[in-house]
């Protein structure tokens, strides 16, 4: 869905002859006569095409010209840029619907209060930071939307989903204050969340302000990509009949121009165009600066972005110049103003912000005599007041209206603004602007005067907050506007009704074991998903998300069972139509989100689905299954964000385990994802060994999240090694969930006792070691399944902390200690992950813990060789137990030496963790 005609408005706005003349002719003399007639004939053709056939046909004409140039062997660039001018000409601007005067006053107060919050936050030695300049440049872009566009959720329509630029949060708080949603105390406690009565979080964090913020955006790039997948997710819900309202919500994303350098920002643009997401509007605040300096000092960020958005198929609306320029453009007979606009660099424009009018006259207008004459009637002071488009409500309103009315695809509004607008010498357009947090008295007075804030000379040094009375015209106006638009924004509300989730018995197939047959935990999970998808009540709420890896995990039968979502259905005949179960079935109401090779995009879908209980009023159960190596390691910040967003659902790191995934080598073999996942506070991390454990964990998770309403999510390691799956032993349910239970006691009648903790498929090393120890070394080893070291550790930490804080009360005993304290003999843990994963509980294991794990880079090898290399195979587990027994003096050291020989272990073998110490 490429946009075929980026030019027409410019063609209409100025004759070709003049534009070309501007390009070749520095002064106001007309170009040479022969060129002139040629140019005129070209112009005539274009005019005729436009008049008779419309812009689309005119676009075809242009394409034809390009084809002919190419055929003639001439290089012809595909135009993706339009001149540096507003996309919407003044004549096409709609009348402004609001009270400009009142809106300006409201906006000025929002500006003041936002600034005051940050300035106050630095007082009294607190120095807790904050940003003034980002919101200062964004204020008009927000206020026009607050007064005329953002829809709240109090009416019959769905609330807009708005991704606010993270650093502008003070502006959102200031707005909420004017709306009487927040009080002065809240503003005083900006960035003081531990203050009495709570405070306001630095940035949008739903975890910290769950009734206010919906979307965390402050990690640059994540808001933009989330917004695209959110808009697509609304379409998915609609197609599947899961939207609560007839209408779909509009998604807005406010993006920084510097933020556009993040790969996540621009990486999914084509999806939005391909899916025709006209429910999505981006507003890129092009203040030309980021933190350190200009975004493109030597270029033009707006032009660069326009090219990218156009190329990706977006509708682009440039809002460059405010109304005060309209008159100059109207008189720009020879296109010189346009030419100068096109050639001046962002670095120049930034300089014009801080320079006096005389500099602007000399440097910008003075380049061409004809251009200089254009501003003869304006004083130097007037020149500094030629406002940029993003600060002009009329231009912004026109752009928003055009964006929300645009059909067929997403719109990007590229709005030119000034960073730190209104701060004057305190930071307007300065390179230090982003970091400016303090204002001296003089600067405060200037700010007050510029925005006409009614604060007295005596009070100004205290930077007080100011809010008009409830009965004032301003308050009444803004509340009335919000009422008409359906209530406050942002607002997070959990409306979804709890689900009745299935009990464990529903998954008999996994509980009864596989008999002599073999199954991996991945295969077992896929069975579970397939059973769940058939559940009459829950089935349709399941959202499987896959980044082009379904076949790897044996999930292709789900293609035909529940279909792959495609907004277009399936317009072609799939090559594997005859393949029965597993043909690639795309359908308009398909359930699977097959995202292609994008872990970031898949996580964005996971978050959209896992927060639907709050953002769309419907409890959905996402299962995102992927190559575990490309999980928290690849897109860890999105995992973190999922926690912040209070996402619910299941993450399934398949092909887990450094030695279980054989052959694939260093980049694929994951020996650390549970560790990375453990860093996320609301993520429950499990490493199940058997099918019934997978079923028990998923069942319990569904109950906790969707029946009991806990805002947590799950990470499960899934392996691809097939082995006979045992039936669920009685009485192990609680242990599975808490993190540890005795799976198989060792045989009686042996001289020595020991314990081996195993998890995931590597529990098989423990079970085989149990046999060897009993048969050859007179040791009875109990094998335990450690399903969650994170759970065990957290529970123990909680108990310890309680004991520290309650010295006079009987101490609590951590679960893991309760479980193990009566046991005799040493403990060994064997894992397919780094040793630090089991070591998490070492402190509470009686007599300490010997650990075998997989520290180091993976290798391409067979499972057996990998396990010997990383020293977590059965023989190494035997050695570990014997070593521990010898250390306690239970057996002679010679026996250990003998075992090393018997078990064929090379004591001089390389240490797999070749690390720099």
Ligand X SMILES: Cc1ncc(C[n+]2csc(CCOP(=O)(O)OP(=O)(O)O)c2C)c(N)n1
In degrees, rounded to 5, the angle at the alpha carbon of residue 571 between the alpha carbons of residues 569 and 572 is 130
Q: Which does 792 bind (CB under 5 to 8 A by kind): Mg ion, ligand X, none?
A: none
Q: Would you give the distance in Å from CA 262 to the centre of its chain? A: 12
With CB under 5 to 8 Å by kind, the binding choice for 332 among Mg ion, ligand X, none is: none
**Cβ-count burial 855-892 (b if 16+ within 10 Å, e if not):** bbebbebebeebbbbbbbbbbbbbbbbbbbbbeeebbe
Place of tokens 């014009």: 352
Which does residue 434 bind out of ligand X, Mg ion, none, counting CB within 5 to 8 angstroms by kind? ligand X
- Which option in Mg ion, ligand X, none does residue 218 bind, with CB closer than 5 to 8 A by kind? ligand X
Q: Which is nearer to ligand X, 160 or 259 (CB)?
A: 259
* Options 93-101, 283-291, 357-365, 379-387: segment touching ligand X (CB under 6 A): 283-291
* Distance separating alpha carbons of residues 646 and 208, to the nearest angstrom: 10
Helix (H, G, I), strand (E, B) or coil at 684: strand
Return the H-helix or E-strand segment holding 316: strand 315-319
What angle do the packed helices 599-610 and 222-239 form, to 10 degrees? 60
CB 211 within 8 A of CB 518: no
Which helix (DSSP H) or strand (DSSP E) does residue 740 occupy? Answer: strand 740-744
The answer to the question of residue 290 lying near ligand X (CB under 6 A) is: yes
Q: What are phi and psi of 334, to 5 degrees?
A: -100, 15
Q: Which 403-462 residues touch ligand X, going by CB under 6 A?
A: 419, 434
Q: Tell me whether residue 261 or residue 446 sits nearer to Mg ion (CB atom).
A: 261
- Contact at 8 Å (CB) between 619 and 498? yes
Q: In the stretch 37-56, what mask flags binding to Mg ion with x, by CB under 5 A?
A: --------------------
CA 167 – CA 291 distance, rounded (Å)? 11
Residues 159-178 that bind ligand X (CB under 6 A): 167
396 or 691: CB nearest ligand X: 396
Does 853 participate in binding Mg ion (rule CB under 5 A)?
no
Q: Shortest distance, CB of residue 421 to ligand X, whole angstroms?
A: 11
Burial 202-229 (b: 16+ CB within 10 A, else e): bbbbbbbbeebbbbbbbbbbbbbbbbbb
Sheet containing strand 713-717, strands side by side: 593-594, 542-546, 621-627, 649-654, 713-717, 683-686
Q: How many residues does the chain have?
A: 917
The least distance separating ligand X from the CB of residue 163, rounded to whole angstroms, comes to: 13
How many Å apart are CA 845 and CA 815, to the nearest integer? 11
d(CA 261, CA 757): 47
431 is in the binding site of which of ligand X, Mg ion, none (Cβ under 5 to 8 A by kind)? Answer: none
Q: Which does 291 bind (CB under 5 to 8 A by kind): ligand X, Mg ion, none?
A: ligand X
Told to check if 287 binds ligand X by CB under 6 A, we report: yes
CB contact at 8 A, 491 and 520: no
Question: Maximum distance among all alpha carbons in the chain?
Answer: 111
**In the numeric block, which tokens belong to residue 445?**
């007075």
- Tell me the site size for ligand X, rule CB under 6 A: 19
Q: Nearer Cβ to ligand X, position 390 or 631?
A: 390
Where in 249-288 is the site for Mg ion (CB under 5 A)? 256-258, 287
Q: How far is the CB of 347 from ligand X (least distance, A)?
A: 15
Q: Which CB, 216 or 357, lies closer to ligand X?
A: 216
Instruction: Tokens 């890896």: give the residue.
Output: 549
**C-alpha span between 93 and 95 (Å, rounded):** 7
Nearer to Mg ion, 417 or 561 (CB): 417
- CB-nearer residue toward Mg ion: 220 or 769: 220
Q: Which does 324 bind (CB under 5 to 8 A by kind): Mg ion, ligand X, none?
A: none
Question: Across the chain, how many H-helices and E-strands are there?
Answer: 36, 20
Residue 599 Cβ vs ligand X, minimum distance, rounded to whole Å: 17
Residue 81-120 contact track with ligand X, rule CB under 6 A, x = bound: ----------------------------------------
Question: What residues between 587 and 616 interact with ligand X by CB under 6 A?
Answer: none
Residue 142 Cβ, how far from ligand X at the closest point, in Å? 12
What does 83 bind: ligand X, Mg ion, none (CB cut-off 5 to 8 Å by kind)? none
In sequence order, the β-bridge partners of residue 190 are 200
* Shortest Å, Cβ 640 to ligand X: 11
Q: Out of 25, 134, 172, 787, which residue is the one contacting ligand X (CB under 6 A)?
A: 134
Structure tokens at 504: 């464990």
Using the minimum distance from each CB to ligand X, give the nearer residue, 259 or 871: 259
Strands 779-786 and 740-744, bridge-based pairing: antiparallel
Q: Among 285, 598, 655, 787, which residue interacts with ligand X (rule: CB under 6 A)?
A: 285
- Return d(Cα 464, Cα 445) in angstroms, integer: 13
Smallest distance, Å, CB 529 to ligand X?
34
**Token digits of residue 736:** 């599975």
Please, which residues bridge with residue 348 across strands? none
**Cis ω for the linkage preceding 638 (within 30 of 0):** no
Q: Which is nearer to ligand X, 4 or 128 (by Cβ)? A: 128
Which one, 169 or 439, has the nearer CB to ligand X? Answer: 169
Q: Which is nearer to Mg ion, 287 or 645 (CB)?
A: 287
Q: Which does 18 bind (CB under 5 to 8 A by kind): Mg ion, ligand X, none?
A: none
- C-alpha dihedral, 572 to 576 to 579 to 583, nearest 10°: -60
> Residue 259 binds which entry of Mg ion, ligand X, none, with Cβ cut-offs from 5 to 8 Å by kind?
ligand X
Q: Which does 93 bind (CB under 5 to 8 A by kind): Mg ion, ligand X, none?
A: none
| DSSP type of residue 454 | -
Query: Nearest residue by C-beta to ligand X?
Result: 256
Choose the contact partner of 134 out of ligand X, Mg ion, none; CB within 5 to 8 A by kind: ligand X
CB-neighbour burial class of residue 824 (10 A; exposed 0-12, middle 13-18, buried 19+) = exposed
Residue number with CB closer to Mg ion (167 or 742)? 167
Taking the least distance from each CB to ligand X, the nearer of 138 and 884 is 138
Which entry of Mg ion, ligand X, none binds 657, CB below 5 to 8 A by partner kind?
none
Which one, 203 or 397, has the nearer CB to ligand X? Answer: 203
Shortest distance, CB of residue 290 to Mg ion, whole angstroms?
Answer: 5
| Burial profile 443-459: b = 16 or more Cβ within 10 angstroms, e = fewer | bbebbbeebebebeeee
Q: Which of residues 205-264 bind ligand X (CB under 6 A)?
A: 218-221, 256-259
CB of 380 to ligand X, least distance (A): 28
Select the binding partner of residue 219 from ligand X, Mg ion, none (C-beta < 5 to 8 A, by kind).
ligand X
Shortest reach from residue 133's CB to Mg ion, in Å: 9
Nearer to Mg ion, 232 or 290 (CB): 290
Is residue 547 near Mg ion by the rule CB under 5 A? no
Q: 111: closest CA among 382, 451, 612?
A: 451
C-alpha 229/C-alpha 280 separation (Å) is: 10
The values of phi and psi at residue 572, to 5°, are -130, 165
- Written as six digits, the tokens of 827 are 């403990």
Which of residues 202, 289, 514, 678 is near ligand X by CB under 6 A? 289
* C-beta closer to ligand X: residue 120 or 265: 265
Distance CA 599, CA 642 (A): 13
Q: Does 306 interact with ligand X (rule: CB under 6 A)?
A: no
By CB under 6 A, name the binding residues for ligand X. Answer: 134, 137, 167, 218-221, 256-259, 285, 287, 289-291, 295, 419, 434
By CB under 5 A, name the binding residues for Mg ion. Answer: 256-258, 287, 289
């Amino acid at each position: 869905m490429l946009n075929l005609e980026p030019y027409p408005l410019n063609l209409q706005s100025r004759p070709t002859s003049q534009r070309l003349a501007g390009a070749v002719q520095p002064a106001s003399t007309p170009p040479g006569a022969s060129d002139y007639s040629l140019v005129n004939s070209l112009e005539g053709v274009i005019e005729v095409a436009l008049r008779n056939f419309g812009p689309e046909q005119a676009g075809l004409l242009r394409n034809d010209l390009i084809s002919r140039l190419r055929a003639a062997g001439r290089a012809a660039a595909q135009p993706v840029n339009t001149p540096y001018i507003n996309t919407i000409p003044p004549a096409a601007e709609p009348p402004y619907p609001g009270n400009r005067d009142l809106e300006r006053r409201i906006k000025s107060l929002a500006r003041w209060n936002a600034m005051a919050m940050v300035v106050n936050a630095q007082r009294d030695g607190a120095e807790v930071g904050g940003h003034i300049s980002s919101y200062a440049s964004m204020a008009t872009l927000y206020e026009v939307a607050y007064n005329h566009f953002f829809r709240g959720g109090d009416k019959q329509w769905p609330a807009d989903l708005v991704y606010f630029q993270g650093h502008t949060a003070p502006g959102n708080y200031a707005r909420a204050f004017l709306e009487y949603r927040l009080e002065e105390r809240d503003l005083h406690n900006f960035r003081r969340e531990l203050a009495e009565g709570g405070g306001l979080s630095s940035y949008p964090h739903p975890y910290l302000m769950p009734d206010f913020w919906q979307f965390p955006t402050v990690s640059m790039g994540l808001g933009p990509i989330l917004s695209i997948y959110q808009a697509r997710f609304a379409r998915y819900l609609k197609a599947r009949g899961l939207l609560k309202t007839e209408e779909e919500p509009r998604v807005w994303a406010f993006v920084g121009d510097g933020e556009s350098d993040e790969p996540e920002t621009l990486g999914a643009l084509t999806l939005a165009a391909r899916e025709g997401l006209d429910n999505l509007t981006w507003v890129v605040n092009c203040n030309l600066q980021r933190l350190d300096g200009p975004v493109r000092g030597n270029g033009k960020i707006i032009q660069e972005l326009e090219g990218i958005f156009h190329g990706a198929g977006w509708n682009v609306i440039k809002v460059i110049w405010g109304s005060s320029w309209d008159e100059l453009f109207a008189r720009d007979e020879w296109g010189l103003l346009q030419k100068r606009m096109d050639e001046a660099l962002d670095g120049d424009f930034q300089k014009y912000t801080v320079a006096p009018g005389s500099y602007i006259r000399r440097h910008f207008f003075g380049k061409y005599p004809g251009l200089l004459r254009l501003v003869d009637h304006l004083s130097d002071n007037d020149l500094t007041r030629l406002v940029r488009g993003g600060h002009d409500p009329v231009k912004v309103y026109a752009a928003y209206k055009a964006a929300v009315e645009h059909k067929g695809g997403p719109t990007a509004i590229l709005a030119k603004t000034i960073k730190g607008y209104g701060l004057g010498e305190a930071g307007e357009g300065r390179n230090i602007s982003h970091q400016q947090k303090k204002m001296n008295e003089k600067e405060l007075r200037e700010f007050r005067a510029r925005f006409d804030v009614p604060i007295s000379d005596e009070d100004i040094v205290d930077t007080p907050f100011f809010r008009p009375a409830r009965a004032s015209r301003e308050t009444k106006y803004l509340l009335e506007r919000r009422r008409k638009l359906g209530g406050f924004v942002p607002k997070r509300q959990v409306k979804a009704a709890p689900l009745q989730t299935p009990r464990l018995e529903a998954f008999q197939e996994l509980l009864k074991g596989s008999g002599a047959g073999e199954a991996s935990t991945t295969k077992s999970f896929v069975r579970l998903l397939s059973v769940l998808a058939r559940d009459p009540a829950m089935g349709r709420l399941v959202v499987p998300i896959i980044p082009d890896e379904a076949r790897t995990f044996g999930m292709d039968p789900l293609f035909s069972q529940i279909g792959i979502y495609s907004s277009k259905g399936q317009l072609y005949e799939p090559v594997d139509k005859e393949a029965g179960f597993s043909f690639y079935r795309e359908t308009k109401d398909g359930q699977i989100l097959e995202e292609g090779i994008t872990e970031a995009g898949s996580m964005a879908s996971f978050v959209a689905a896992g927060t639907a209980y709050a953002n769309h009023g419907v409890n959905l159960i996402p299962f995102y299954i992927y190559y575990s190596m490309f999980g928290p390691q690849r897109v860890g910040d999105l995992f973190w964000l999922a926690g912040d967003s209070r996402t619910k659902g299941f993450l399934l790191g398949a092909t887990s385990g450094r030695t279980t995934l054989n052959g694939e080598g260093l980049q694929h073999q994951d020996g650390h994802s549970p560790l990375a996942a453990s860093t996320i506070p609301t993520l429950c991390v499990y490493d199940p060994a058997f099918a019934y454990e997978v079923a028990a964990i998923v069942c319990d998770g569904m109950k906790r999240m969707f029946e009991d309403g806990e805002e947590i999510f799950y990470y499960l390691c899934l392996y691809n090694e097939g082995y006979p799956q045992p039936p669920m032993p009685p009485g192990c349910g609680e242990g599975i969930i808490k993190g540890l239970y005795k799976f198989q006691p060792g045989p009686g009648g042996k001289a020595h006792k020991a314990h081996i903790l195993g998890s995931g498929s590597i529990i098989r090393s423990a079970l085989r070691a149990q046999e060897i120890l009993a048969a050859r070394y007179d040791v009875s080893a109990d094998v335990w399944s450690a399903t969650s070291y994170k759970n065990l550790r957290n529970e123990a930490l909680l108990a310890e902390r309680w004991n520290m804080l309650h010295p006079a009360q009987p101490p609590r005993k951590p679960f893991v200690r309760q479980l193990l304290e009566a046991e005799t003999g040493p403990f060994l843990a064997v894992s397919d992950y780094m040793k630090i994963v089991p070591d998490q509980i070492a402190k509470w294991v009686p007599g300490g813990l010997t650990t075998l794990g997989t520290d180091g880079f993976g290798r391409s090898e067979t499972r057996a060789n990998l396990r010997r290399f990383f020293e977590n195979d059965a023989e190494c587990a035997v050695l570990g137990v014997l070593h521990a027994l010898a250390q306690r003096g239970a057996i002679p050291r010679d026996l250990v030496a003998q075992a090393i020989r018997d078990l064929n272990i090379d004591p001089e073998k390389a240490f797999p963790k070749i690390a720099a110490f």
